[in-house]
Amino acid sequence: MFTQSKWLIILFIVAATLHAQTLNLNKLSNITKRDSSDKLCKILFDDFYDSFESDEGLGNSKITKATINLFRYSEDTLLQNRQLAELLYGYINSVSKPDTALEWIRVLKEEYPKVYGQLHPLILLYEGESLINSKRINEAHQHFLDFYKLYPSSVMAMVYIFETETNPALSKTWLSILKRQHPNHWVVKNLK
């Protein structure tokens, strides 16, 4: 049976598919002005990222809030920094096409620091996932090692280091660390 949050996510995906078909990647920088004092999009990114990092994962209430806000923000022509919501929206819509998703997330990786002065860990998470989905495992592994250096408390960075590690001894070490430090995390619980 579908819960309210599952229906919202399904609705979001359908709406995102229809919306992103009309989106021109090259014109995004003209959508809105950059305003580093407006934190709505930063909070949006935080809510998505916090959901992945939390023990509850996609069951976290922040994911539902973030999904609804992403749809609202990408449609709000008066919203400051709307281009960030549009780029995230485009990325989420294109995850089934890994090379396209990688293009979206890399444009977002360039744009986000222009607004807020630094890179958001959600962007690094999604970029690494796109590399994995594009079958660029070695590049993804290095990406997640670099991500972990920047954000050493990131459970998801550690998970993906474990999953992309080709050395069985190192993989076993990462799994041991994850199980010891984050035994209740929604992804770690399923790792073997």
pLDDT reported for residue 132: 97
Give 68-109 pLDDT, tens digit per residue.
999 999 888 889 999 999 999 999 999 999 999 999 999 999
What is the arithmetic mean of pLDDT over 59-68? Answer: 91
Return the pLDDT at 18.
Answer: 43
Note the pLDDT tens digit of each residue in 108-126. Answer: 999 999 999 999 999 999 9
Query: Is the predicted pLDDT of residue 3 greater than 70, yes or no?
Result: no
Q: State yes or no: pLDDT of 51 exceeds 80.
A: yes
Give Cα separations from 182 to 52, 55, 63 (angstroms).
13, 8, 20
C-alpha closest to that of 63 among 81, 44, 76, 82: 44
Q: State whether CATH 1.10.3470 applies to domain 4-23+37-187.
A: no
The reported pTM is 0.85
Which pLDDT belongs to residue 22?
40
pLDDT confidence of 1, banded at 50, 70, 90? very low
What ranges do the domains of the chain cover?
Answer: 4-23+37-187
CA dihedral (63, 66, 67, 73) in degrees, to 10, reads 180
Distance in angstroms (rounded) separating the CA atoms of residues 188 and 192: 9
pLDDT, tens digit, 9 for 90 and up, residues 6-44: 544 554 554 555 444 444 555 555 556 899 999 999 999
pLDDT for 77: 87
pLDDT digits (tens, 9 = 90+) for 124-168: 999 999 999 999 999 999 999 999 999 999 999 999 999 999 999
- Judged on CB neighbours under 10 Å (0-12, 13-18, 19+), 9 is middle
Q: Spell out the residues 6+ positions from residue 96 whose beta carbon is closer than 8 angstroms to its own.
A: none
**What is the torsional sign of CA 175, 176, 180, 181?**
negative
Contact indicator for 41, 66 with CB cutoff of 8 Å: no
The DSSP-derived string for 57-97 is GGGSHHHHHHHHHHHHHHH-TT-TTHHHHHHHHHHHHTTTS
